[in-house]
């Protein structure tokens, strides 16, 4: 937002200042020519602004609140486009808009989500069919193979999903085609330039809806019924495609951010693990690194899980994770406790006595033995 504000301010602020200077000059010339005070003229202009809010314009335009105009208005409400050229002026209309918008916008978002789900399903089906044809051409799949045939190649395609980048590319091309076709319709009918028509398509389809350019607002058009129907279809298709495209782009952005964070975390974790390993060489940790050669595959997988990373990073872990990651050491301690209870205490070596780790009963003795072993390994 900060970058966008800086760019738009640098581009648009000079034009705004020039327009303001030109308006002040025209206002001054008009008051001198017609011998009017600026206060009276400003009061008249404020009245026109109030009238424009109610839908009054200098040029003849279509009625705002007949049935077709109201239908166009509710379409901009539920689709969250909100051009702003038509707004309720009464208290009752504003109250009804609040409750109507809650239901209408929620229903439209549900419709967009269902549309996206069906669209991705169709795209996945088409891309999967193309993928199967490519595999048959390469000879990976037999030409007479069908789903449910039991072959491993066909079964492997059951969980196949298209790449999100291909889906994004398809949606981008579809949105571009719809925008270009709609712009070709708006340019001759509305009298806009082709670039302005493309600009309107993006603003309308993305539901930004500034309201500086609004389609189907004149009183009369050539083939008016056909044009308004085409305008409705283009806006509906464009909003659905752009909404779907925004969702897919958000997934790509999320994957990119996760990839960057993962790379940064790997570098930081390697450094932190080296420092922690050097500083904690004398600490007795269940499942010591030197004893990993004798641990089974299952235990080794547990030790290399996220639990081990959380323990090294200093974060708290649950009791379940603690027991899962230290089950080998707990089994050894349980065995030694059993030997001590049955009268077969572990014999202390002379080296352990010299190191000062002798003494203790039960679990304390076991811990002293582990400390002694650690000291001898050093």
| CA pair distance 308, 315, nearest whole angstrom | 10
In 3-state terms, what secondary structure has residue 153? helix
* Residue 111 buriedness (CB in 10 A; 0-12 / 13-18 / 19+): middle
Range among 44-53, 215-224, 234-243 rated most confident = 234-243
Extract the runs of DSSP E, i.e. beta strands, from 279-361: none
Query: Which residue has better confidence, 224 or 374?
Result: 224
**Residue 109: what pLDDT?**
92
> What distance separates the 2 farthest-apart alpha carbons in the chain?
118
**Residue 144: what pLDDT?**
61
Q: How confident is the model at residue 358 (pLDDT cuts 50, 70, 90)?
A: very low
* Residue 124 buriedness (CB in 10 A; 0-12 / 13-18 / 19+): middle
Cβ pair 343, 256 in contact under 8 A: no
**Residue 291: what pLDDT?**
44
Lowest mean pLDDT among 71-75, 126-130, 213-217, 239-243: 126-130
**Residue 54: what pLDDT?**
72
In 3-state terms, what secondary structure has residue 162? coil
The pair of three-digit structure tokens given for residue 145, joined into one six-digit string:
């193979």
Residue 105: which residues within 8 A CB-CB, separation 6 or more?
A: 77, 78, 80
- Mean pLDDT value across residues 304-323: 50
In 3-state terms, what secondary structure has residue 192? coil
Query: Which residue has better confidence, 147 or 63?
Result: 63
Query: Which residue has better confidence, 169 or 53?
Result: 169
**Residue 256: what pLDDT?**
92
**Residue 273: what pLDDT?**
67
- Mean pLDDT value across residues 360-365: 49
Query: Which residue has better confidence, 154 or 295?
Result: 154
**Span 92-140, pLDDT tens digits:** 999 999 999 999 999 999 999 898 888 888 888 888 888 788 878 877 7
295 conformational bin, left if phi > 0, alpha if psi -120 to 50, beta if neither: beta
**Span 252-302, pLDDT tens digits:** 999 999 999 988 888 777 776 666 656 554 444 444 444 444 433 334 444
The percent of residues above 90 in pLDDT, for the chain, comes to 34
> What does pLDDT average to over the chain?
76
pLDDT at 305 over 80: no
| CA pair distance 59, 38, nearest whole angstrom | 25
**Residue 205: what pLDDT?**
94
**Residue 306: what pLDDT?**
47
Q: How confident is the model at residue 40 (pLDDT cuts 50, 70, 90)?
A: confident
Torsion of CA 256, 261, 263, 269, to 10 degrees: -170
Burial 128-145 (b: 16+ CB within 10 A, else e): eeeebeebeeeeebeeeb
pLDDT at 245 over 70: yes
The pair of three-digit structure tokens given for residue 75, joined into one six-digit string:
């379409």
In 3-state terms, what secondary structure has residue 259? helix
**Residue 61: what pLDDT?**
74
Lowest mean pLDDT among 63-67, 89-93, 309-313: 309-313
β-partners of residue 218 are 61
Torsion of CA 172, 8, 81, 206, to 10 degrees: 10
β-partners of residue 261 are none
CA angle 223, 200, 117 (to 5 degrees): 95
Contacts 24+ apart (CB under 8 A), 138-147: none
Tally the C-alpha atoms within 13 A of residue 363's C-alpha that lie toward its C-beta.
4
**Span 169-222, pLDDT tens digits:** 999 999 999 999 999 999 999 999 999 999 999 999 999 999 889 998 888 888
- Predicted TM-score (pTM) of the model is 0.63
| CA pair distance 240, 235, nearest whole angstrom | 8
């Amino acid at each position: 937002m900060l970058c966008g504000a800086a760019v738009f301010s640098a581009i648009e602020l000079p034009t705004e200042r020039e327009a303001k200077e030109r308006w002040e000059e025209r206002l001054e010339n008009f008051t001198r020519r017609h011998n009017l005070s600026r206060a009276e003229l400003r009061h008249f202009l404020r009245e026109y602004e109030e009238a424009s809010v109610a839908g009054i314009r200098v040029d003849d335009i279509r009625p705002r609140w007949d049935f077709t105009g109201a239908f166009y208005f509710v379409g901009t409400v539920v689709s969250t486009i909100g051009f702003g050229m038509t707004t309720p002026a009464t208290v009752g209309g504003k109250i009804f808009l609040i409750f109507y918008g809650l239901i209408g916008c929620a229903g439209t978002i549900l419709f967009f989500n269902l549309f996206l789900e069906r669209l991705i399903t169709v795209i996945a089906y088409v891309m999967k069919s193309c993928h199967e044809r490519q595999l048959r051409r390469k000879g990976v799949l037999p030409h007479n193979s069908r789903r449910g045939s039991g072959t491993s190649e066909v079964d492997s395609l059951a969980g196949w999903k298209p790449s999100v980048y291909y889906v994004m590319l398809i949606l981008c091309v579809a949105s571009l085609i719809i925008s270009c076709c709609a712009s070709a319709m708006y340019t001759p009918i509305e009298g806009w330039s082709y670039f302005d028509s493309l600009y309107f398509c993006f603003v309308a389809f993305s539901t930004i809806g500034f309201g500086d350019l609004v389609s189907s607002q004149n009183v009369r058009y050539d083939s008016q019924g056909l044009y308004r129907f085409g305008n409705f279809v283009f806006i509906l298709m464009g909003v659905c495609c752009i909404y779907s495209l925004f969702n897919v782009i958000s997934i790509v952005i999320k994957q990119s951010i996760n990839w960057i964070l993962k790379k940064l975390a790997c570098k930081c974790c390697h450094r932190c693990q080296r420092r922690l390993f050097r500083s904690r060489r004398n600490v007795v940790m269940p499942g010591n690194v030197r004893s990993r050669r004798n641990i089974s595959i299952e235990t080794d997988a547990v030790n290399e899980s996220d639990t081990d990373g959380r323990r090294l990073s200093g974060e708290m872990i649950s009791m379940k994770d603690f027991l899962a990651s230290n089950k080998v050491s707990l089994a050894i301690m349980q065995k030694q406790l059993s030997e001590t209870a049955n009268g077969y205490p572990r014999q202390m070596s002379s080296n352990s006595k010299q190191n000062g780790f002798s003494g203790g009963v039960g679990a304390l003795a076991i811990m002293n033995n582990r400390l002694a072993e650690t000291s001898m390994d050093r």
